[in-house]
Structure 1
Amino acid sequence: MSFTWTPHRFAGGALALDVANSVVMRADPERRIDRYADATALDAFASAANAHCAERDLATALIPVIPDRRPAFIALREAIDGHFRAAASGEGTPERMATLLEAIAGTLRSAGHDPASLDTATAHSALRLSANTGPDRLKICPNCGWLFIDRSRNRSRAWCDMAVCGNRAKASRHYYRRKEESRA
């Protein structure tokens, strides 16, 4: 199956959330897909983030995570997802924050000071996100389950990407509404 990193896959609003969203259908073990299970997709993520990530500073292009640091990068991704998903659900705990900070510290220790490395940039993004984004701005898309930042003025954004998830939800409601009307 062919896969490409499209702008939709960077709908989180922060590099850390886009990395966490690399697991598709996370809540459904039967349909769960880890896009980083394929090393070529993980390598391609860095260049796609340069083009599509809302948070990226284009002055330094991201480079892929070196193979030796990939297990720590996956642990960072899981800590990011665990912490911010719990925070978005109103269930954040000091233990989840500690796990996130330990994963960030481990990544920064092993990755050194290379700001162009995807793992370093992701760790910095997670730090900025935890310090500067209130839990009322973090949301979980009701369609796909991805995390995203709601930057709307009145905090009313409902979907990670209106063009994809919003349209799917609206089309589904329309279908079922028409189906009910035809029965009546």
Structure 2
Amino acid sequence: MEPWTPELVGGHLAVDLVNTVSWRLDPARTVDRIAGPEELRRWLRAADLVGPEWRADDDDLPAVRRLREVVHRLLVSVVARSRPSQKDLDAMWRATVDARRHARPRPELPLRWELAPADVARRLAVSAEDLLSDGARLKTLGRCADAGCGWFFLDTSRSHTRRWCSSADCGNRERARRHYARNR
């Protein structure tokens, strides 16, 4: 079996993190694409967060997966236009505060804070905070129209009518399904 090739179609690092669960809305097909340290390393490399020498420590995988699920629930509340749970907001706040506590200033101006390259869970928390605190970008958040997919994306199309996580994947599958139904 070939190793999984990460797909970064969400338009933002935090969205792509959430999209590491494939077929989230179809329990019979759901696959966690970062189920182990090697898969996490592969995704982080594809997202250009780590170099080839990076290796996960015992805390990286569970921390990233916990953050992913919190961000997922928050994104669900955005597209559903519902109030997020206080538990998820508190979890996001704790992750963000922890990341900020470990950040150090870059040695130049303008002042910017950075985390150690190997500190992937905290870097992902800062990315999620970046997205979740940007109302304009959250207005462009969409979810794939495929009934089982569940992937999110930022719709940056001119007409803001994007329906699929990937036109070449879910979009093609739907077009083929409609073609088959018409020709039956």
Q: Shorter-chain TM-score: what band? A: 0.7 to 0.9
TM-score (norm 1): 0.78
Report the Cα distance in structure 1 between the residues aligned to 2:134 and 2:55, rounded to whole angstroms.
26
Q: Which amino acid aligns with 1:67?
A: D
Match of 2:76 in 1: 85
Report the Cα distance in structure 2 between the residues aligned to 1:116 and 1:40, rounded to whole angstroms.
15
- Label 1:108 to 1:173 Cα distance change in 2 as closer, same or farther (>3 A): farther
Report the Cα distance in structure 2 between the residues aligned to 1:146 and 1:87, rounded to whole angstroms.
14
Pick the aligned partner of 1:140 from 133, 140, 143: 143
- Label 1:42 to 1:67 Cα distance change in 2 as closer, same or farther (>3 A): same
Match of 1:53 in 2: none
Pick the aligned partner of 2:20 from 22, 36, 39: 22
Question: Taking every aligned residue pair, what percent have the same amino acid on both sides?
Answer: 33
C-alpha contact (below 8 Å) 1:64/1:117 kept by paired residues: no
- Label 1:43 to 1:169 Cα distance change in 2 as closer, same or farther (>3 A): same
Q: Secondary structure at the match of 1:148?
A: strand
Q: Which runs of 5+ in 2 are unaligned?
A: 105-114
Match of 1:38 in 2: 36
Report the Cα distance in structure 2 between the residues aligned to 1:80 and 1:103, rounded to whole angstroms.
11
Larger displacement relative to structure 2 (93-102 or 25-34):
93-102
Select the structure that is richer in helix.
Answer: 1
Pick the aligned partner of 1:72 from 53, 63, 76: 63
C-alpha contact (below 8 Å) 2:60/2:120 kept by paired residues: no
- Label 1:36 to 1:19 Cα distance change in 2 as closer, same or farther (>3 A): same
Q: Which runs of 5+ in 1 are unaligned?
A: 51-55, 180-184
- RMSD value, Cα: 2.6
Larger displacement relative to structure 2 (111-120 or 17-26):
111-120
TM-score (norm 2): 0.78
- Label 1:111 to 1:20 Cα distance change in 2 as closer, same or farther (>3 A): farther
Match of 1:182 in 2: none
1:175 Cα offset (Å): 0.9
Superposed, 1:169-184 pairs within 5 Å as 169-179=174-184
Instruction: Give the number of equivalent residue pairs.
Output: 169
